[in-house]
Amino acid sequence: METCTLRKHIDIIFVPLFFIACWIFFFHLYPYHLYYKEQITLCILQPDFLQTYFQKPAFLSEICGDYLTQFFLWTGGGSTILTLTFLLTWLGIRTALIRTGIIHHASLWALLPIIAEWGEACHLEYPLSMSLGLLFSVWIFTLITFCTSIRTRNVLHTILFFILYCAVGAHFFAYVLIAIVYEYKHSNRSLSPVLLLSISILIPIGGSYFYYLTLKQAYFYPLISNYMLRQPFVFLLTELFLLLSFLPIFVPRLNKCRIALYTILFLSITSLGKAYNASEEKTLAFSSEAYFGHWDKVIRLNKNNDYPTYLSAYYTNLAYARQGKLCDELMQHYQPASHGLLLQINNSTGYIYGMASPDALMECGDMAQAQHSAMLAMTFTPHQRSSRMIRKLTEIAIINEDYAIAQKYLHMLLHTSLHRKWAKERLEFINSGQCNSIPYWNNKRRMLAKQDTLFSANQWRTSLANLIESNPQNKMAADYLLCFHLLNKDLKLFKKDYDRYYYPTFGLLPPRLYQEALIVCMDEKDDPQEQLKHYRIPFQVYNDCLQYLSIYEESQGDGHALQKQFRKTYWFYYHYAQLKP
């Protein structure tokens, strides 16, 4: 009796648990992916901006999706919006299944397309507009089922194919599949489903000419190809799972609760296991916390970091540099050579690195390169719209005192729901002439280069040297320059730039890192005592170096013998770190 009661209520028990698990997943395991989706999106509530949505398919789902994505930046906002979207979609699919003829466990079978959407939503380039497109398609179909006339329904289907393609884009195929299954089940005309399928396939072909898209783009828009989501046709996984949910209509034996549960669990584990990317989530955590200004949290994230990347090293170095501890901490954590100091930007760089690149450049004072990187990062994003880069470009313009440009960006942000307050505060500073009262802006203005020097992007030595020559007190630029040489094992340039830029201004108290490197650079022909005295290197550091060399020779270069005592010294890094391009 208890078993029968449990089977009868399994839908009521399992479905709420499923959506609770969905919310917990995005809230606890995947929040930074949702934060980042907001950062690569921009929704400006102005007529001329909104008109741009009508130039491509999916105007309705994109407007709604981009607007709601703004609130992904709220704590719990993204997980709540996604879960509610999935819940409403599930209700629509469940209704469609019941109307089509599935009586038993429709609630469970309706979860299958939600599983696919859940997995696809884990990708950065899978926008909320895609999930909303599915939601709109499903509910519009449920409304059409109230029409009892087969001929009228077929006419409505054809009209709605065109409307839905323009309104929701790629996921109009969800409506197409449900309509075909429904008409196959309820229509006496065997040619009706074939005709509907043929029309639906032809619509994107016409759309490619109307919207000036390639044929491939026309079928999966608003997804954009050639990003992390390498195969944009992966959205058809939702349509495939949607078809699976209709199988009990044709195979009555599948109506058993046990089969539905096993199918859901298997597909959930498979799809989410494939979609979940812990390393990428950790990388986005570093970038997002830096964007929020939580630099202490950036340092905490690096403790016991199981997924070290260029970006984790980059932001950890920057966090310590802001505290004046770059040299002290450089050898204490993962360093991918100079790639963890300054990020190279070119036409093959992804937008994640592009959006991070301006941060270190701004801290060092190179606003020209920071602006260049921010512009490129904006271009690299899927739809060339990024709220994070607009804010970054605004800050750069204010520091450069290009108030006209800053006001242009700020007036754009004034017409957003999320960034309005931030923009209003900065406009008030500009209009009242109080920008000089902000210490951060004043500090960065003092670091600006005072002379124009022509150099290409990614020429870090030229850039940093130019900043130091303009302002010899720019210690952050000096530290970045010297650490850049040390991580690349270029001791010749390190010694040259140390003597020229660092020693005259900051040479009284050289950090331990520089002391270790300077010992390696010492001229064998000169008296070591005099050199130690000149560079103010304690004799104990020199003795440590001699001990290191002694162990190195005794072990015949075996690094294991040196790890315990010298693993975090520059000497160990110089001998054993492998530089990769």
Q: Which of 248-262, 306-320, 519-533 has the lowest mean pLDDT?
A: 248-262
Mean pLDDT of the chain: 90
* Dist. CA 509–CA 342, nearest whole Å: 25
The pTM of this model reads 0.92
Q: What is the pLDDT of residue 453?
A: 65
Q: What is the pLDDT of residue 190?
A: 61
Q: What is the pLDDT of residue 2?
A: 44
- What value, to the nearest 5°, has the Cα angle with vertex 356 and ends 350 and 361? 125
Contact 378, 387 (CB under 8 A): no
Look at 54 and 234; give whichever has higher pLDDT: 54
Q: Domain 280-447, what fold?
A: 1.25.40
**Nearest Cα to Cα of residue 519 among 554, 486, 558:** 486
- What value, to the nearest 5°, has the Cα angle with vertex 145 and ends 143 and 148? 125
Averaged pLDDT, 53-80:
96
Q: Which of 48-62, 156-170, 341-355 has the lowest mean pLDDT?
A: 341-355
Residue 8: pLDDT band (50, 70, 90) is low
Kindly tell me if the per-residue pLDDT of 299 is higher than 80.
yes
Q: What is the pLDDT of residue 346?
A: 78
Q: Is the peptide bond before 222 cis (omega within 30 degrees of 0)?
A: yes
Q: What is the pLDDT of residue 524?
A: 78
Q: What is the pLDDT of residue 454?
A: 58
* Dist. CA 514–CA 491, nearest whole Å: 11
Residue 7: pLDDT band (50, 70, 90) is low
pLDDT tens track for 228-259? 566 777 888 999 999 999 988 887 776 678 88
Q: What is the pLDDT of residue 229?
A: 60
Averaged pLDDT, 534-545:
92
Where are the chain's structural domains? 2-276, 280-447, 515-581
Longest CA span, the chain: 102
Query: Pseudo-torsion of CA 234, 239, 240, 241, nearest 10°?
Result: 110
Structure token digits, residue 294: 């939580």
Kindly tell me if the per-residue pLDDT of 332 is higher than 50.
yes
Averaged pLDDT, 98-113:
89
* Dist. CA 548–CA 546, nearest whole Å: 5
Owner of token pair 């040619």: 191
Q: What is the pLDDT of residue 1?
A: 40
Determine if residue 31 is left, alpha or beta; phi over 0 gives left, psi from -120 to 50 gives alpha, anything else beta: alpha
pLDDT tens track for 400-446? 999 999 999 999 999 999 999 999 999 999 998 888 888 888 899 88
Q: Which of 9-18, 76-85, 106-115, 420-429 has the lowest mean pLDDT?
A: 9-18
Q: Which of 185-189, 476-480, 523-527 has the lowest mean pLDDT?
A: 185-189
Q: What is the pLDDT of residue 184?
A: 86
Alpha-carbon Rg for the chain in angstroms? 30
Averaged pLDDT, 497-512:
93
